[in-house]
Amino acid sequence: TIPNTLDDGDYVELHGTDTATSRIFTDWKGTAGNPVWVVGQDGSEPDIRGYYELRDCDYVYMEEIDFNGNSTYTNGALKIEGGCSFISIRNSFIRNYDYNGNSAGISIDADLGYGEGYTHDIVMYNNVFSSLGDWETTEDEDFHGVQPRGEPSSGLETYNVWLLDNTFTQVSGNAMQVTAIEDPQYKQYCNHIYAGRNDISQGRQAGLWSKVAQDVVFSQNTIHNMRRHGDSGLGDAFGMQYGTDRLW
């Protein structure tokens, strides 16, 4: 089992298969100089079948983990919520999750009633996202690779999110969809989001999309072989709607 309480400098190494539907961790508290480490091993990554949820955790590195829904689980792999900060997800797999309503492989949310404070400084680096939802469906499936969300109802922001050097393939939603809520007056609640050097292919929807947000940068991404969000033709690489300020 993984402890719910981890302090600065603690190191946890994962092995084998975890078939639990979900696990919730509320007290992983590293520091800038001594983060918490939760890791697998390259080439023999632990097999996580359900989803892990971090609430109000700080300075955590997670790497070399295979989040594999095994086409059985539907809620995505990882939820970063409730005031988390300085979280890094690296060198891992997020794959084989079926669609069952709006979801994401990794969801990042300022508040769902679990913690206090903004959610910020979240990095996803060199991960592989694949087979999230059904990318060949004719239906509109909002199963995204990554989804940063602000929470206007709580007055809390999600900001400083980096998506770097990841691979996305066969995702039924966007590789990343950025949003606060579908109302332009709330755009400040999701801000300073950066996606760079990602390879995105065979998606049902556009590669990268911004809804209600501000200060969003899409740079040096390769987006190819996308399906059109409709009947025919080529798919979309980028897009925006509702209200995004300063999209680069």
> Quick one: pLDDT band at residue 239, thresholds 50, 70, 90?
confident
Check residue 209 and give its pLDDT: 94
Tally the residues of the chain. Answer: 248
Number of domains in the chain: 1
Q: State the average pLDDT for the chain.
A: 91
Domain of residue 39, CATH code:
2.160.20
% residues pLDDT > 90 (the chain): 69
Burial class (CB in 10 A: 0-12, 13-18, 19+), 145: buried
**What is the rounded average pLDDT of the residues 79-96?**
95
Give the residue numbers spanning the domain of 44: 5-247
Asked if pLDDT for residue 83 goes beyond 60, the answer is: yes
Q: What is the pLDDT of residue 208?
A: 96
Least Cα distance to 195 among 168, 169, 182, 176 occurs for 176
Cα(200)–Cα(198) distance, rounded to whole angstroms? 6
